[in-house]
Amino acid sequence: MNYSKELQDLDFAYKVRRALNESAEGLPAPTLDRLAQARKAALARKKPDAGAKVHVFSGVLAGTNGFSFSGPSNWLGRLGIIIPLLALVAGLAGIYQHEKEQRITELADIDTAVLVDELPPAAYVDTGFTAYLNKAEE
């Protein structure tokens, strides 16, 4: 149901209740007495509330249809928690190793490019060499 429709319905219900209350104040006393007697008779005939029967199973997991891991086979419940945690730890360790190897490979590629180049490694550290490279680019 639409939210604005619900508000309109609620507003209409309040208006009806207010109109009924205002008109009830103008009713004659005999009519009010008859309405009060009719209400008492209706309440006397009302069936007593029979409590609803609710079956409660302790330790039931959602969607297990009454089967739970509690009781004598409690190790199944613990195993159901430990296995995913171990899988998570193994996955995180694998991702860490992969990233570490990738970083080592990238550094090795940079080292190889520097060593294969015609310039000695000391030239890259020399500030005068960077000035020479900037001058050579012009």
pLDDT tens for 20-55 read 878 777 888 888 888 889 888 888 888 777 777 776
Full-model pTM = 0.36
What is the 8-class DSSP label of residue 126?
-
Q: Which amino acid is at 27?
A: L
Residue 136: alpha-carbon gap to chain centroid: 60
* Alpha-carbon gap, residue 20 to 47, rounded angstroms: 27
> Contact, 68 vs 59, CB < 8 A?
yes
Alpha-carbon torsion (49, 55, 60, 63), positive or negative: negative
* Alpha-carbon gap, residue 75 to 71, rounded angstroms: 9
Q: Which has the higher per-residue pLDDT, 104 or 128?
A: 104
**Residues 8-20: what's their mean pLDDT?**
87
> Contact, 62 vs 71, CB < 8 A?
no
